[in-house]
A and B are shown apart, each in its own frame.
Chain A
Amino acid sequence: MNEEKTGADGAGDKLTADARLQRRHRAERRFRGVCIGALGLAGAFLVLFLGSMVVAALPAFTQTEVKVEVDFTNPDQAWRAIDPELNSIVSRGVTRVLPNRLENNPELAGKRFEEWVLAKAEIDQFRKGKGSLDEEVRERVERFEEAGRFRYTFNHWLFTEGDSKLPEMAGLKAAIVGSIYVLALTLAFAFPIGVLSAIYLEEFAPDNRFTQAVEININNLAAVPSILFGLLGLAIMINFFGVPRSSAIAGGLTLGLMTLPIVIISTRAALRAVPHSIREGALAMGATRWQTVRDHVLPMSLPGILTGTIIGLAQAMGETAPLLLIGMVAYIPDVPGSVTDAATVMPAQIYSWASMPQQAFVERTAAAILVLLTVLIALNATAVYLRRRFERRW
């Protein structure tokens, strides 16, 4: 515009200026198009990924049950209360606990009744049109099908059972509880230490070589590959402090170390965002540094601190690499009763299922991924909510 001059050849200048303006507008449209394209591509990948995951996972949410006769009339033969002929159809998870069941429910002795029980994963897969069965078994399945002795139910086992080698009984419960333990410990470890360190560095520490070195190191730690924290956890927590291998406490401390720099960095950023005038106002009224921080700076920076912490936790939740080294990626079907019990976490369980040979585990892996994604989305939504809810403007 500033090239537009008044004068004899003003019209010509105007023309070039118009042309230039149009060129600039075209460039802007092009740039905007490229940006939209990038966004669209990212969106398409996301939709493709989520879509294929949902399609793969859907069959895992239903599970075949079969109606069989349970015969406890001969209590000594409880192990064959369900006709062993049906072992090719009924889940081993049902038949192996028949004696225990009679023992725990003595009133069942002498009774004979019909019951819907869990069917084998092979049968379930066959009914869903996947995999093949032996001739003999297939004929029996077809007979049962005609007699209406199969039905689909919601696969509640996915949430009420721990890991299992029997795909039909494999569930996420132990892993979910394990993840909760580990995350709670990570939070309990990383949050107080992280926030206190950040407050000291930001509000109290003098600006000298030493604090600068600390700051650089913390920033570097946040970028260290997570597997190294696993090695650290193995060397320090397990081999030196004697924390039990595979336990939730070992996992929580290791992931806590990993999350610590993220908490420190986000807390410092949140503290720094509080305007200086607020500190100066408080100090001018005669408040001490501690009172200033406690009553004014911290409450104002809390949304930022919480957001950073939750994002750090979400990252810790999806982590498997460091846990591999401290023995948490393992077959652990029992729900941990305390922080020192062996525990596993959801991503570790997904990893284990992905390497199982049975086809039924393919859909269960996808279902487990969906559950994990749901939890992560919930965590991130909480972070957004907290920020909105407590945000203050000045």
Chain B
Amino acid sequence: MMNKRALMTSVLAGAVVAAAGSAAQAAERDQIRIVGSSTVYPFASYVAEEFGATTGHPTPVIESTGSGGGMKIFCEGDGPDTVDITNASRRMKPSEFERCADNGVTDITEIVIGADGIVIAQTTANAAMNLSREQLTLAVAAEVPKNGKLVDNPYENWNEIDSSLPDREITVYGPPSTSGTRDAFEELVMEAATEEMDGYDEPYTTVRNDGPYVDSGENDNLIVQKIQNDTEALGIFGYSFLEENTDVIEAVTIDGVEPTPEAISAEEYPVSRSLFFYTKNSHFDHVAGMEGYVSLFLSEQMIGGQGLLKGQGLIPLPQKMREGVRARFERRGELELADLK
């Protein structure tokens, strides 16, 4: 009898909860919803945490979906059920802007929060290494020019590319094609190098998949661990991961420039990029605290020259640019398709 009653109770409880669930409806929110880049995620969640701890608002929810994934969700539509902000480690693409516009997301403000360098690193056990963007491209491109035409990449050792490079097998652990870091690497290293090089008719960004370049997932920590175990290998990841692990890994200089915060913000270091987020301006009136969150993010305390995000690995923008960004946010400067081309 005991068992029977227990069973009946659980059946009843199940029915009640199921009914309550289906009745739940989304209303105007007091919790900000953010998606987007895994590179911006640590900074955004730091600000979100500070925002939740120091104001009465709930902490914004931030999903790390990658820049492309974030744009996809962001552009799904406008309204209380949709996300408010997407983070990106690259600019919005014109195609993404058009998709947004098709789905009714027209009033968007673009905000630059700072810069991030992409570092090519190895363990400190190795001798210091310098690579040019051309050499790096020849190591990871699917096809390279040989005797005037493009052939499948034959290089397996660095010294086959240039005799001045060490006799080490080419192994590069890097981000997969869904990652903003990968987009930036392709653009800033491969595209930039192949524009200048003989043998490529047009900018070339196809990465080889015959072994030497290893897709290592969105998790930069994993890449840091891999290059510690595989001491021959190089790894590609964001600057903040270098900063946190200087005792075990070091950066390869690119075109002779070391990725220091100064070199990255001055754009001397060639493989650096700006970090962004995009806001849906129609949401400012409907989502409590959204304005406060963005203002906190853009404050000197956060993205300033000595701001808290600097400690998290963000490379601050120059003073002038920070003021420009704040001014654009104040007037909710609307993003135009022409800006992105």
Contact = CB atoms under 8 A, between A and B. Distances in A.
Given A164-B49, A165-B49, A357-B220, A339 B61 contact: no
B110 to A, nearest CB: 22
A184 B13 CA distance: 10
B95 interface: no
Interface stretch (A57-65, A150-158, A310-318, A328-336): A328-336
Interface residues of B, number: 52
A191 B14 contact: yes
A264 to B, nearest CB: 15
A30 interface: no
Interface in B8-26: 10-11, 13-15, 17-18, 20-22, 24-26
Interface string B44-62: 1110111011100011011
B150 interface: no
A334 B59 contact: yes
Nearest to B22: A241
Contacts of B22: 241
B61 A191 contact: no
Contact of B4 (A96, A196, A294, A356): A294
The secondary structure that dominates the B interface is helix
Contact of A357 (B7, B53, B81, B221): B221
Interface stretch (A206-214, A242-250, A366-374): A242-250
A357 B244 contact: yes
Given A96-B53, A97-B53, A340 B218 contact: no
A74 interface: no
Contacts of A390: 3
Given A96-B54, A242-B81, A245-B33, A354 B14 contact: no
Nearest to A299: B3
Nearest to A362: B221
Contact of A192 (B10, B63, B221, B243): B10
B38 interface: yes
B313 interface: yes
A93 B50 CA distance: 8
Interface string A266-283: 000000000000000000
Interface of B: 3-4, 7, 10-11, 13-15, 17-18, 20-22, 24-26, 31, 33, 38, 41-42, 44-46, 48-50, 52-54, 58-59, 61-64, 81, 218-222, 240-241, 243-247, 308, 312-313
6 contacts: A185-B21, A330-B63, A333-B49, A339-B24, A355-B219, A355-B222
> 10 nearest interchain CB pairs?
A192-B14, A330-B63, A331-B62, A331-B45, A188-B14, A357-B244, A165-B46, A188-B17, A355-B219, A192-B11
Given A245-B33, A252-B21, A298-B7, 7 more contacts: A96-B54, A164-B49, A192-B15, A193-B14, A245-B81, A331-B61, A333-B52
